[in-house]
């Protein structure tokens, strides 16, 4: 079917002017009523991200029970989080000056050695949690860990606040992804799917400060300033709306629905350079696609209706190899679904909307007559390793083996580089029928659209109830080396499973508080930050196996926990 295309200027020139038009198209929920949230309170966290320099932890709160009139995005100082986090130890040499390792029963540790570094003298001498104090045994039911929770505004150690900045967003955020500007500007952008008003929110992050058009100077207390409507996308701009099918001769009254973000956003994935984003919607099989050239805001360019009803998790597939070895490929994405036992492979056909450069924010080119950017289904794989196989949630694709092999090649060794480039990718999917982790590979295959290798599942790992999301990180092994692990959060059973891909087995189970949801990993220390949705805090979990007494335990609880209203 031919397409009617209105000629337009380059995307780079148009995007900076689109904010107002996009904002006017947003069908916002009423935000003028209700109680304002406290900028210093984490509330139903659903997304975590680290800035590229690992200096700040970004926490996205959803306001899930609508107690407040908006959700929140908070930026926390990782330097301060590391300071308040207790340090595991095996001997005194691992502790700082004026400290020793708490390894023997004492009055201060209540006859239970903590295997943490404690002060030699002073008011906190010998106390496992130092100035934080120990929590109660009742509190450990929902917030495990020995030490009392840490306030973002007034931490008990007397140091600076943990909170760097906070802004308000619409309610019912469902996740977040952060990407760094590939031009090296030092700016990152955060992208947030939001159910409350069916939008993709976005904000800039630099030096821990969030910028999303909010009015006024950052407040030191009270409610966070709300992001402007220009920083959320719900409707395609006019020149994208004009890319519509021409009515058939047999159907002269054929119309096309306006291109807008579908209801019920769920998950979002982005290419490594942040230039293409794909967002799933947990109703009606919809998937939205956004083009993003780092000069203007992300732009909704396509809405695909899959032949499956309930798409859920989505992950970007790393490209085959370096540009000098293979031609440019269409970005591809894998999508799981609740309604069928399969995953689908999608490809974004940009038709020049982002220009020829794949990693630099250069001026984009106009679309040619008859072309349009589109997300297309290019294949699917049935899940046959499980009895049921449907209800897939989180999806993660790991290219570590390929990247390691490429790095080991001499830059001039074409044969080595080409062999390394074809190493299969590892694939992991959280599945609930039955509760399990699906393990597979993606072959490096070149097709008409470029990298179009389909997954092949070869194993299923039994889990307990509620596997939700899959994350890739590292642990410090007993030998002191860093090794890759796959982490599966089980929301219902409050467990994180740690899967060793080399040994193809679950290595350990980490008990958590209620509702573990999102995870990120600190590149400076063997710990993970875990967003606990139900009681609204972030746990700092040890991933250091050289200290088995504290491995998998919560070394700190960031934010004062708040039980859901139904539990009060």
More confident: 386 or 240: 386
Give pLDDT, residue 11.
42
Tracing tokens 């984009």 back to the chain, one arrives at 364
> Hey, which bits of 399-515 come out as E strands?
425-432, 435-442, 446-447, 450-451, 455-462, 467-476, 482-490, 495-500, 505-511
**Cα separation, 485 vs 325, whole angstroms:** 29
Extract long-range pairs of 494-502: CB within 8 Å, 24+ residues apart: 495/464, 496/530, 496/541, 497/437, 497/461, 497/463, 497/467, 498/552, 499/428, 499/437, 499/439, 499/461, 501/398, 501/426, 501/439
Q: Does the pLDDT value for residue 360 go beyond 70?
A: no
Q: For the chain, what is the largest distance between any 2 Cα atoms, rounded to a whole number of angstroms?
A: 89
The average pLDDT across 168-196 equals 95
CB environment 86-125: b (16+ within 10 A), e (fewer): bbbbeeeeebeeebbbbbeebeebeeebbbbbbbeeeebe
Q: Does the pLDDT value for residue 250 go beyond 70?
A: no
The average pLDDT across 34-38 equals 85
> Which run of H or of E encompasses 240?
helix 238-241
Tracing tokens 């790095």 back to the chain, one arrives at 407
The average pLDDT across 544-548 equals 97
Lowest mean pLDDT: which of 423-437, 449-463, 539-553?
449-463
DSSP letter (8 states) at residue 203: E
CB environment 483-493: b (16+ within 10 A), e (fewer): ebbbbbbbbeb
**Cα separation, 321 vs 336, whole angstroms:** 25
For β-strands 299-305 and 286-291, DSSP reports them as: antiparallel
Alpha-carbon dihedral of residues 207, 211, 214, 216, nearest 10 degrees?
A: 30
Cβ atoms of residues 537 and 559 within 8 Å: yes
Cβ atoms of residues 346 and 358 within 8 Å: no
For β-strands 425-432 and 537-542, DSSP reports them as: unpaired
CATH number for domain 3-567, candidates 3.40.50.920, 2.130.10.10, 2.60.40.10, 3.40.50.300: 2.130.10.10
Q: Does the pLDDT value for residue 334 go beyond 80?
A: yes
Q: Does the pLDDT value for residue 249 go beyond 80?
A: no
Give pLDDT, residue 357.
39
The average pLDDT across 257-286 equals 93
Helix, strand or coil for residue 567? helix
The average pLDDT across 482-497 equals 97
Lowest mean pLDDT: which of 80-89, 148-157, 184-193, 366-375?
366-375
**Cα separation, 184 vs 144, whole angstroms:** 40
Cβ atoms of residues 163 and 40 within 8 Å: yes
Domains in the chain: boundaries: 3-567
Task: Name the residue among 153, 159, 145 with its Cα closest to residue 86.
Answer: 145
Q: Please give the order of strands across the beta sheet that includes 392-398.
A: 392-398, 425-432, 435-442, 455-462
The strand pairing partners of 281, in sequence order, are: 265
pTM equals: 0.90
The average pLDDT across 516-540 equals 97
Q: Does the pLDDT value for residue 488 go beyond 80?
A: yes
The average pLDDT across 167-196 equals 95
The strand pairing partners of 296, in sequence order, are: none
Cβ atoms of residues 392 and 380 within 8 Å: no
The average pLDDT across 159-173 equals 96
**Cα separation, 343 vs 280, whole angstroms:** 13
288-324 pLDDT tens trace: 999 999 999 999 999 999 998 899 999 999 876 554 4
Percent of the chain with pLDDT over 90: 69
**Cα separation, 546 vs 270, whole angstroms:** 35
Cβ atoms of residues 203 and 167 within 8 Å: yes
End-to-end CA distance of the chain: 58
Distance of CA 153 to the CA centre of its chain: 25
Q: Does the pLDDT value for residue 13 go beyond 60?
A: no
The average pLDDT across 546-561 equals 97
Paired tokens of 85: 């986090």
Give pLDDT, residue 362.
33
CB environment 239-258: b (16+ within 10 A), e (fewer): bbeebbeeeeeeeeeeeeee
Cβ neighbors of 235 (< 8 A, separation 6 or more) are 21, 22, 25, 26, 258, 259, 260, 261, 300
The pair phi, psi for residue 156, each rounded to 5°, is -70, -15
The average pLDDT across 57-73 equals 94
**Cα separation, 285 vs 567, whole angstroms:** 34
The strand pairing partners of 226, in sequence order, are: 168
Q: How confident is the model at residue 390 (pLDDT cuts 50, 70, 90)?
A: confident
**Cα separation, 161 vs 156, whole angstroms:** 10
Give pLDDT, residue 246.
53
Q: Does the pLDDT value for residue 15 go beyond 60?
A: no
Tracing tokens 């409610």 back to the chain, one arrives at 223
Give pLDDT, residue 104.
97
**Cα separation, 172 vs 44, whole angstroms:** 9
- How far is residue 444 from each of residues 383, 412, 440, measured CA to CA in Å? 20, 21, 13
**Cα separation, 240 vs 248, whole angstroms:** 20
Extract long-range pairs of 544-547: CB within 8 Å, 24+ residues apart: 544/88, 544/475, 544/476, 545/475, 545/476, 545/477, 545/478, 546/90, 546/476, 546/477, 546/478, 546/480, 547/88, 547/89, 547/90, 547/115
Paired tokens of 243: 């890319």
> Hey, which bits of 434-480 come out as E strands?
435-442, 446-447, 450-451, 455-462, 467-476
Paired tokens of 265: 């956003």
The average pLDDT across 372-400 equals 92
Neighbours of 459 (CB within 10 A): 11
Q: Does the pLDDT value for residue 443 go beyond 90?
A: no
């Amino acid at each position: 079917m031919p397409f009617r295309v209105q000629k337009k200027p380059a995307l780079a020139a148009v995007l900076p002017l689109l904010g107002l038009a996009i904002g006017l198209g947003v069908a916002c929920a009423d935000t003028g009523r209700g109680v304002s949230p406290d900028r210093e309170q984490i509330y139903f966290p659903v997304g975590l991200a680290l800035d590229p320099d690992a200096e700040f932890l970004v926490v996205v709160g959803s306001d899930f029970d609508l107690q407040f009139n908006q959700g929140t995005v908070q930026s926390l100082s990782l330097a301060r989080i590391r300071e308040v986090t207790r340090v595991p130890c095996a001997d005194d040499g691992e502790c700082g000056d004026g400290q020793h390792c708490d390894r023997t029963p004492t009055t201060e540790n209540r006859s239970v050695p903590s295997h943490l570094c404690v002060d030699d003298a002073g008011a906190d001498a010998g106390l496992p949690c130092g100035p934080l104090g120990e929590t109660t045994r009742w509190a450990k039911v929902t917030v495990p860990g020995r030490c009392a929770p840490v306030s973002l505004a007034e931490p008990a150690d007397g140091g600076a606040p943990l909170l760097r900045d906070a802004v308000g967003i619409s309610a019912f955020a469902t996740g977040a992804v952060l990407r760094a500007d590939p031009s090296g500007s030092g700016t990152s952008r955060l992208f947030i799917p939001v159910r409350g008003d069916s939008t993709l929110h976005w904000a800039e992050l630099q030096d821990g400060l969030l910028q999303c058009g909010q009015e006024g100077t950052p407040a030191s207390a009270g409610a966070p300033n709300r992001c402007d409507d220009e920083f959320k996308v719900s409707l395609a701009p006019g020149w994208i709306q004009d890319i519509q099918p021409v009515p058939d001769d047999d159907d002269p009254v054929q119309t096309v629905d306006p291109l807008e973000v579908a209801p019920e956003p769920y998950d979002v994935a982005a290419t490594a350079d942040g230039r293409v984003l794909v967002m799933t919607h947990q109703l009606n099989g919809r998937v939205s696609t956004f083009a993003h050239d780092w000069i203007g805001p992300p732009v909704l360019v396509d809405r695909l209706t899959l032949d499956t009803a309930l798409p859920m998790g989505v992950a970007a597939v790393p490209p085959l190899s370096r540009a000098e070895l293979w031609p440019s490929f269409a970005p591809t994405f894998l999508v799981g679904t609740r309604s069928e036992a399969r995953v689908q492979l999608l490809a974004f056909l940009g038709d020049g909307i982002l220009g020829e450069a794949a990693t630099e924010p250069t001026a984009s080119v106009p679309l040619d007559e008859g072309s349009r950017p589109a997300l297309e289904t290019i294949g699917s794989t049935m899940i046959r390793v499980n009895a049921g196989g449907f209800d897939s949630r989180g999806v993660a694709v790991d290219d570590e083996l390929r990247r390691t092999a490429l790095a080991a090649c001499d830059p001039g060794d074409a044969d080595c580089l080409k062999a390394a480039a074809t190493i299969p990718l590892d694939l992991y999917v959280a599945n609930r029928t039955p509760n399990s982790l699906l393990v597979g590979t993606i072959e490096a295959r070149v097709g008409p659209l470029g990298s179009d290798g389909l997954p092949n599942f070869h194993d299923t790992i039994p889990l307990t109830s509620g596997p939700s999301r899959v994350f890739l990180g590292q642990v410090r092994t007993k030998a002191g080396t860093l090794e890759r692990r796959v982490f599966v959060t089980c929301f219902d059973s409050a467990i994180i499973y740690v899967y060793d891909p080399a040994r193809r087995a679950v290595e350990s189970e980490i008990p958590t508080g209620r509702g573990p949801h999102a995870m990120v990993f600190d590149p400076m220390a063997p710990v993970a930050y875990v967003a606990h949705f139900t009681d609204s805090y972030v746990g700092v979990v040890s991933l250091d196996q050289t200290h088995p007494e504290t491995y998998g335990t919560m070394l700190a609880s960031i934010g004062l926990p708040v039980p859901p209203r139904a539990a009060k």
